[in-house]
Structure 1
Amino acid sequence: PLRREVEAYDGRVKRRLLVRPGVTGLWQVSGRSDLSWDESVRLDLSYVENWSMISDVLIIGKTVKAVLASDGAY
Structure 2
Amino acid sequence: MSLDVTRGGLLVTLAIFGVIVYEMRTVLDFVGIELPLIPYMAAVFALAGLTLWIVSLTGGWRTEPSGDDPA
TM-score (norm 2): 0.30
TM-score (norm 1): 0.30
Which structure has the greater CA radius of gyration? Answer: 2
